[in-house]
């Protein structure tokens, strides 16, 4: 439960948070104790609070007990009368302790002037919060049942209030920790974006410089091939060179497609139209591998910023086709969910082994043979989805197929 400076919650951060509230808690407990004493006409009292981790009762506030240092009083559960009341969770009304032999035995530390006192457990929602003790009536008479009922009523309110305050502090701590985590993640994302932007400019410039001469080289290789006889040894060499150049062209295209999207912040695109264009680009694969396409699109989908989403769809469709070279069905479903748009690409192809599913979004990770892929398609797709503050993930089972899901939140 919530306590003041004596208490040590589970983390140092939370302890620091509680320390800031110590004075307010003590003031609240002190005022509550004063009110209780006034109600029953008593002059001496104390409030012990339960410390969860050590199962001890610690004296938090006391009135007119000047000879007892507050920070030194700790009682274990079952120790002395306050510990017994806490352990049994039963109120105790003693009219004359001198006539209670069993109480004399467990009351070795009493320093009160009166022989009559009240000790009441404070609880909330079935949990023990602490114990309130009242003694020393002004008129010297013993306490009665009316006094006990009054203290129990106040103890009930106190228990609920302290329990609620405890929950509030815990929730504030949780929110504070969550906020710190989100700020740290945001800073990390900003650092990554800045790093990525600088790298992107460098790579984009490099690719642009490579692309122009590459076009010329391929053009001259094609011209040379046209001029050679079919059985020429040189033609076989140039044919192998052309294969390597084509691999390089595909790699450059992927990079250009990705960085091209960085410059489209002010443009928008319709998701369905983007998917249809991606399908159109891969239509030859469907006929080549005997793949059937199923589409489920809702009406009136809004446009979204064009950060290169077509590159994502093209990669997912291409991967699905390569997973179904023996034929199959590619089903694409677009639906609304949680204030965003979910796009699901589901195939019944060969599937992805479980042990590598966590790696498929890493740059340059590929299971394809040399020359078939650079391992950048899914890595680039994830970076593009990150621009939307969205998510992309996969569920797959060998020989049963894969399901790639893209979620794009609609941020107003």
> Residue 256: inside a domain, yes or no?
no
Residue 179, pLDDT score: 76
> Residue 297: inside a domain, yes or no?
yes
Last residue of a domain, one of 180, 196, 224: 180
Task: Supply 403's token pair.
Answer: 């399901």
Q: 6 by DSSP, 3-state: which? A: coil
CA–CA separation, 311 and 269 (whole Å):
13
Last residue of a domain, one of 155, 180, 205: 180
What is the SS3 assignment for 304-355?
Answer: EECCCHHHHHHHHHHHHHHHCCCCEEEEEEEEEECCEEEEEEEECCCCCCHH
Same domain for 172 and 279, yes or no, is no
Residue 112, pLDDT score: 52
Same domain for 166 and 290, yes or no, is no
Same domain for 311 and 162, yes or no, is no
> Residue 113: inside a domain, yes or no?
yes
CA-nearest of 309, 299, 305, 330 to 404 is: 330
Same domain for 29 and 159, yes or no, is yes
Residue 17, pLDDT score: 47
Angle at 52 between CA 50 and CA 53, to 5 degrees: 135
Same domain for 285 and 405, yes or no, is yes
Same domain for 175 and 276, yes or no, is no
Contacts of 391 (CB under 8 A, 6+ apart): 385, 405, 406, 407
Residue 331, pLDDT score: 96
Task: Supply 406's token pair.
Answer: 């893209």
Same domain for 138 and 41, yes or no, is yes
One digit per residue, the tens of pLDDT, for the chain of length 412 reads: 444 434 334 444 544 444 444 667 788 889 999 999 999 999 999 999 988 666 789 898 998 776 566 666 889 888 888 999 999 999 999 988 877 756 655 554 445 567 899 999 999 888 899 999 999 999 989 999 999 999 999 999 998 888 887 777 777 777 778 777 777 776 666 666 555 555 556 666 666 667 667 777 888 788 888 887 777 788 787 888 877 777 677 667 666 665 555 544 557 889 999 999 989 888 888 989 999 999 999 988 888 988 888 889 999 999 999 999 999 999 999 999 888 999 999 999 999 999 888 888 887 667 665 445 556 778 888 888 988 889 999 999 999 999 999 999 986 5
Residue whose entry in the numeric block shows the structure tokens 């004493």: 37
Residue 191, pLDDT score: 64
CA–CA separation, 342 and 161 (whole Å):
45
What domain count does the chain have?
2
Task: Supply 46's token pair.
Answer: 């104390």
Integer CA distances (angstroms), 293 to 283, 317, 320, 346, in order: 10, 10, 11, 10
At 382, which CATH number?
A: 3.30.565.10
> Residue 257: inside a domain, yes or no?
no
> Residue 292: inside a domain, yes or no?
yes
> Residue 17: inside a domain, yes or no?
yes
Domain membership of residue 278 as a residue range:
266-409
Residue 89, pLDDT score: 92
Residue 7, pLDDT score: 39
At 91, which CATH number?
A: 3.30.450.40
Last residue of a domain, one of 148, 180, 212: 180
> Residue 308: inside a domain, yes or no?
yes
> Residue 240: inside a domain, yes or no?
no
CA-nearest of 267, 307, 315 to 388 is: 307
| Cut 0.75: pTM above it | no
């Amino acid at each position: 439960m919530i306590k003041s400076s004596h208490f040590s919650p589970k983390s140092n951060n939370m302890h620091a948070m509680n320390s800031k509230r110590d004075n307010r808690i003590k003031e609240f407990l002190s005022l509550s104790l004063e009110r209780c004493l006034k109600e029953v006409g008593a002059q001496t009292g104390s409030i012990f609070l339960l410390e969860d981790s050590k199962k001890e009762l610690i004296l938090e506030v006391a009135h007119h007990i000047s000879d007892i240092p507050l920070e030194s009083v700790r009682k274990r559960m079952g120790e002395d009368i306050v510990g017994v009341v806490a352990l049994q969770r039963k109120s105790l009304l003693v009219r004359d302790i001198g006539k209670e032999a069993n109480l004399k035995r467990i009351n070795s530390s009493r320093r009160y002037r009166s022989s009559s006192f009240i000790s009441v457990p404070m609880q909330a929602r079935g949990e023990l919060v602490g114990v309130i003790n009242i003694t020393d009536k002004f008129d010297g008479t013993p306490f009665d049942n009316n006094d006990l009922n009054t203290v129990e009523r106040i103890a009930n309110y106190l228990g609920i209030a302290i329990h609620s305050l405890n929950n509030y502090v815990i929730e504030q701590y949780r929110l504070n920790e969550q906020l710190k985590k989100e700020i740290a993640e945001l800073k990390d994302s900003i650092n990554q974006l800045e790093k990525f932007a600088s790298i992107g400019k460098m790579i984009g410039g490099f690719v642009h410089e490579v692309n122009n001469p590459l076009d010329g080289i391929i053009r001259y290789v094609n011209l040379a091939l046209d001029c050679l006889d079919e059985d020429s040894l040189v033609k076989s060499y140039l044919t192998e060179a052309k294969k390597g150049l084509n691999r390089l062209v595909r790699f450059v295209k992927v990079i250009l497609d990705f960085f091209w999207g960085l410059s489209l912040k002010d443009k928008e695109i319709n998701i369905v139209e983007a998917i249809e264009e991606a399908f159109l680009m891969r239509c030859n694969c469907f006929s080549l591998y005997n793949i059937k396409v199923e589409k489920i699109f809702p009406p009136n989908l809004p446009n979204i910023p064009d950060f290169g989403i077509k590159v994502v769809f093209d990669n997912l469709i291409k991967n699905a086709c390569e997973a179904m070279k023996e034929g199959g069905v590619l089903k694409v479903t677009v639906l609304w969910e949680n204030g965003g748009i979910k796009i699901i690409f589901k195939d019944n192809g060969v599937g992805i082994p479980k042990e590598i599913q966590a790696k498929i979004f890493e740059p340059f990770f590929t299971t394809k043979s040399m020359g078939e892929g650079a391992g950048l398609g899914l890595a680039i797709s994830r970076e593009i989805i990150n621009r939307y503050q969205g998510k992309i993930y996969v569920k797959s089972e060998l020989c049963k197929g894969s399901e790639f899901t893209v979620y794009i939140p609609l941020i107003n």
